[in-house]
Amino acid sequence: MSRKQAARARPAARKGRRPRHSPTAPAPGPAPGDSGGLAGQLRALGLKLREVPGDGNCLFRALGDQLEGHSRNHLRHRQETVEFMVRQRGDFEPFVEDDVPFDKHVANLAKPGTFAGNDAIVAFARNNQINVVIHQPNAPLWQIRGTDRSDARELHIAYRYGEHYDSVRRISDDSETPAYLRMEMLCKNDSNKAEEVKQQKGNSEDETKVQMEDAVQKVCNATGCSDMDLVSHVLEVENYNVESAIFAILQVKEGQGIGTEKQQEPLGREQKSCSRTLWEENGTGSKTFGKQSLHQGEAENSKGRAGSREENQASRNPKVAKKQRKKQQWLEKKKQQEERHRQKVLASKRDSADTRTETDPANHVTLVKAMAALNI
């Protein structure tokens, strides 16, 4: 074979070189644009490819799409990455291959359309203090760590055909917003973890049962009620609030006593002692509700008596009755205004909370399940 024939048979060289330490090139797969094995692999994780042009700028386009939501700033990302490599020359120069001088290597890498490899990914990750996760067909995830911070951003990109990078997105994400994906490592001894969770759940159930029994006993002691089923039911209705349950049972007992003739009779010795024990200054009732509740009850009774006196006086004097009606109308109007203001404040708080939820990146993080990852 002549030299000309050999030259024609040799494949054309790509613009720029791919470093030897790039992610392992996958086996020959479907042509670009075809939904091949990697697309199905990502789909199983709830992810998809967002393809970027294969113009030699694909790495920086994919990283930019992850970081900013679009790939239009790929030239700036390339320039900043090259400048970081020059500043940290000692970290990158030993990995330049084919005996190419470092200055020439970074000069070529700075040109638009030059293929970039793992050294550029490492520099980009360290410069931006983020971690880059690389998805490949039928291979573990590669994680290039640019920082050891636990709250660092993760950028997920796909490497396929041995020369092309794409962005990885949540399967329903068609927006031009930054991607927030994060790996979730699945533990191999999930059965042991499930057993621990089950044991903790059993312990919590026992604690809950003890707390419920304690609440029932407190209500029984405070009210003198011996019907455990009634107390348990009232506690459940009152969401296990002991004070509310005590008040409710006392109301029930009072309502039951109003319709009976025995209530009209003087209290027996046992009933007097129970009532005195419950509501005297240091009794169970005062301990539960506090002295303030007792004073408040007396104040409400006196207020009711004063109100009845005013009503009787108003019925005798028409002018007083008219004045009372105006005062009542004013009070109702003021109460309505206060309620409208309260509703407006609550609505504004809900709106601000919704806004914080929408703008908080942590609420949009999608967990990517993985059994293993190789760190660089």
58 is catalytic: yes
**% of the chain with per-residue pLDDT over 70:** 62
pLDDT tens track for 265-295: 444 444 444 444 444 455 544 444 444 444 4
Q: Delimit the domains of the chain by residue range.
A: 14-185+364-375
pLDDT tens track for 318-354: 666 777 777 788 788 778 877 887 787 777 666 655 5
CA 296 distance to own-chain centroid? 43
Note whether 364 and 40 are within 8 A (CB): no
Determine the pLDDT at residue 9: 39
3-state secondary structure the chain: CCHHHHHHHCCCCCCCCCCCCCCCCCCCCCCCCCCCHHHHHHHCCCEEEECCCCCCCHHHHHHHHHHHCCCCCHHHHHHHHHHHHHHCHHHHHHHCCCCCCHHHHHHHHCCCCCCCCHHHHHHHHHHHCCEEEEECCCCCEEEEECCCCCCCCEEEEEEECCCEEEEEEECCCCCCCCCCEEEEECCCCHHHHHHHHHHHHHHHHHHHHHHHHHHHHHHHHHHCCCCHHHHHHHHHHCCCCHHHHHHHHHHHHHHHHHCCHHHHCCCCHHHHHHHHHHHCCCCHHHHHHCHHHHHHHHHHHHHHHHHHHHHHHHHHCHHHHHHHHHHHHHHHHHHHHHHHHHHHHHHHHHHHHHHHHHHCHHHHCEEEEECCEEEC
Q: How many CA atoms lie within 13 A of 80 on its CB side?
A: 15
CA 276 distance to own-chain centroid? 52
Instruction: State both tokens at 310.
Output: 């005013």
Determine the pLDDT at residue 203: 60
What's the mean per-residue pLDDT of the chain? 74
Tell me the CATH number for domain 14-185+364-375: 3.90.70.80
Q: Would you write out the chain's pLDDT as a tens digit for each of its 376 residues?
A: 444 444 443 333 333 344 333 444 433 344 444 446 899 999 999 999 999 999 999 999 999 999 999 999 999 999 999 999 999 999 999 988 878 999 999 999 999 999 999 999 999 999 999 999 999 999 889 999 999 998 899 999 999 988 899 999 999 999 999 999 998 877 655 445 555 555 665 566 677 778 888 888 888 888 888 888 888 888 887 778 877 788 787 877 766 654 444 444 444 444 444 444 444 455 544 444 444 444 455 555 555 555 556 555 555 666 667 777 777 887 887 788 778 877 877 776 666 555 444 444 545 677 887 766 677 6
Determine the pLDDT at residue 12: 36
**Cα–Cα–Cα angle for 32, 121, 133, nearest 5°?**
70
Determine the pLDDT at residue 303: 53
Determine the pLDDT at residue 176: 93
| Greatest CA separation for the chain | 129
Q: Alpha-carbon distance 336 to 89, whole Å?
A: 72
- At which residue do the structure tokens 């660092």 appear? 152
Distances (CA, A) of 182 to 52, 143, 146, 280: 21, 11, 15, 62
Q: Exactly one of 74, 105, 156, 164 is catalytic; name it.
A: 164
CA 266 distance to own-chain centroid? 62
Determine the pLDDT at residue 159: 96
274 is catalytic: no
Distances (CA, A) of 112 to 55, 58, 59, 87, 269: 9, 11, 12, 20, 100
Determine the pLDDT at residue 148: 92
Determine the pLDDT at residue 109: 97
Determine the pLDDT at residue 284: 46
Q: How many CA atoms lie within 13 A of 300 on its CB side?
A: 6
What crossing angle do the helices spanning 102-109 and 74-87 adopt, rounded to 10°?
Answer: 170
Q: Exactly one of 58, 74, 77, 105 is catalytic; name it.
A: 58
225 is catalytic: no
Determine the pLDDT at residue 376: 67
Q: Read off the pTM.
A: 0.49
Q: Exactly one of 55, 206, 227, 354 is catalytic; name it.
A: 55
Determine the pLDDT at residue 301: 56
Determine the pLDDT at residue 59: 97
Determine the pLDDT at residue 286: 46
Burial class (CB in 10 A: 0-12, 13-18, 19+), 276: exposed
Determine the pLDDT at residue 250: 80
